[in-house]
Amino acid sequence: MTKSVIVVGAGVVGLSIALHLQMRGWQVQLWDRQPAGEGTSYGNAGLIQREAVFPQPFPRDIQELWRYAGNRSSRAQYRFRALPPLAPAFLRYWRASRPDRLRRSAKDYGALIRHCIEDHMALAALTDAGELYRPGGWVQVFQEAEHWQAEIEAAVYKRLHFDVEYEAWDAAQLDKRLPMMRPGLAGAIHWTQPLALVEPVALSQAYLRSFQQQGGEFVLQDIRTLEKAGKGWQVQGESLHSEAPWVVLALGAWTIDWVKPLGYRPPVFVKRGYHQHYSQKTEPGLPLPVLDSEAGYVLAPMRHGLRLTTGAEFAQRDDAPSLRPLQLAEVAARKLYPGLGNALDPEPWLGHRPCTGDMLPIIGPLRQQPGIFLAFGHCHQGLTMGPTTGRLVAQMLEGDAQPFVDPRPYRPERFA
């Protein structure tokens, strides 16, 4: 069959691609070494971030960089020996974070983000995932008035150019809306459009059930080799091999392991992140996810407790976990939210976010290797952009003359 494809990676991005291609009549085989959604898609704040039209920039303020230099910030941690290999990608990242370039990037980043709610709801209607979404948005709180005012200015820009909706709360409004938080905060922004998942991994599991019910095959095996075969490609697993004209690589931070042997070396680095679930000592507890803007962690109510997520850790992808990022985030979270109770998990969870030097995902065919298609590098927004990426990939593989968004900004060859 010419409409046959192997999708490698069963996170939200890979599953979304598989579902969209399946809906267009493609024969899809999905591969992963782990059960669906148990990689990076398992652990995050669970937010579908309609407001996140600006990618996460590299700090350019000297005072902010100085705070990170001491490696005592819960917002960002780093391991010294990991920094030299990251330098080329960091330099490109720093340049792309210049205010004028960041606004240009937002145009392309926001082109995907602005479709995230409708695309998530479209897949929810085809699966049994609808009950996992909680409306109401999330709240970004500020301890410093100047930071609050700066974010309001950015929110005005987002509303004007990207139809982002929000409410600005002063200190009194914040105390009234979220009385369980400590008093004395400068203010908050309530981003009203986003959705929150009550259990992120359950979304991937719902997608997989629908995929299999429609005849899709899921191969739970580690891939050993990826080689050309006839007019297509062969994937060899531990005990099974398969061939197809197209292979879509959507393995997140592990995609780079497969594209390097194919001659493609984009400036990709990994931001690691942790989470831990806690009980709540107050009643009622937090009704909405809350981001501490200065400290960089999120408190998100979920089925299994209140999830505390950390900021970014810059380390080698496969380094051993560290307790320090979560320890720093927990200290800050207990000051902000006195109702934070005891840890509920045996140990923290660690995940890996693949990021590119220009902060845009890599989506498109690998020109020097016909039949290979890439979909990774979504930085912090793989969950948010997953269904939208799936729709775009399906349109591109189908050869649609005019996809719903211009795919050129995300093309792999921009990093030739």
Say what the pLDDT of residue 87 is. Answer: 86
| pLDDT tens per residue, range 20-69 | 999 999 999 999 999 999 999 999 899 999 999 998 888 777 667 667 76
The DSSP result for 243-292, as a single string, is EESEEEE--GGGTHHHHTTTT----EEEEEEEEEEEEE-SSS--SS-EEE
Say what the pLDDT of residue 394 is. Answer: 98
pTM, two decimal places? 0.96
Given a cut of 80, whether residue 246 has pLDDT beyond it is: yes
What percent of the chain has a predicted confidence (pLDDT) above 70?
98
Residue 241 lies in a domain: yes
Per-residue pLDDT, averaged over 150-156, amounts to 96
Residue 27 lies in a domain: yes
- How far apart are the C-alpha atoms of 108 and 99, rounded to whole Å? 15
Say what the pLDDT of residue 285 is. Answer: 92
Say what the pLDDT of residue 66 is. Answer: 65
Per-residue pLDDT, averaged over 167-185, amounts to 97
Per-residue pLDDT, averaged over 140-150, amounts to 96
Tokens (6 digits) for 49: 């971030």
Given a cut of 60, whether residue 221 has pLDDT beyond it is: yes
Given a cut of 60, whether residue 295 has pLDDT beyond it is: yes
Given a cut of 70, whether residue 186 has pLDDT beyond it is: yes
Helices and strands, counts by H and E, the chain? 11, 23
What are the backbone dihedrals phi and psi of residue 190, each rounded to the nearest 5 degrees, phi first? -100, 110
Given a cut of 90, whether residue 71 has pLDDT beyond it is: no
Given a cut of 70, whether residue 294 has pLDDT beyond it is: yes
Per-residue pLDDT, averaged over 93-106, amounts to 89
Say what the pLDDT of residue 325 is. Answer: 94
What is the number of domains present in the chain?
Answer: 1
Q: Is 25 left (phi over 0), alpha (psi -120 to 50) or beta?
A: left
- How far apart are the C-alpha atoms of 238 and 398, rounded to whole Å? 31
Per-residue pLDDT, averaged over 162-190, amounts to 97
Residue 133's pLDDT band, with cuts at 50, 70 and 90, is very high
Residue 64 lies in a domain: no
Classify residue 267 by burial, with Cβ atoms within 10 Å: 0-12, 13-18, 19+.
middle
Residue 123 lies in a domain: no
Higher pLDDT, 1 or 356: 356
Residue 380 lies in a domain: yes
Say what the pLDDT of residue 56 is. Answer: 86
The 10 Å CB-count burial string (b at 16+, else e) for 386-405 is bbbbbbbbbbbbeeeeeeeb
CA 143-167-152 angle, 5° bins: 55
Q: By 3-state DSSP, what share of the chain in percent is helix, strand and coil, each rounded to 5?
A: 35, 25, 40
CATH code assigned at 217: 3.50.50.60
Domain of 384 in residue numbering reads as 4-42+201-267+358-415
Tokens (6 digits) for 25: 């009549």
Given a cut of 60, whether residue 268 has pLDDT beyond it is: yes
- How far apart are the C-alpha atoms of 200 and 303, rounded to whole Å? 10
Say what the pLDDT of residue 89 is. Answer: 86
Residue 141 lies in a domain: no
Residue 156 lies in a domain: no
Per-residue pLDDT, averaged over 376-380, amounts to 93
Mean of the per-residue pLDDT values for the chain? 94
Residue 349 lies in a domain: no
What percent of the chain has a predicted confidence (pLDDT) above 90?
84
Looking at residue 56, its amino acid is Q
Given a cut of 60, whether residue 1 has pLDDT beyond it is: no
Per-residue pLDDT, averaged over 56-83, amounts to 78
The lowest-confidence range among 34-43, 78-87, 324-333 is: 78-87
Say what the pLDDT of residue 308 is. Answer: 98
| pLDDT tens per residue, range 390-411 | 999 999 999 998 999 999 999 9
Residue 230's pLDDT band, with cuts at 50, 70 and 90, is confident
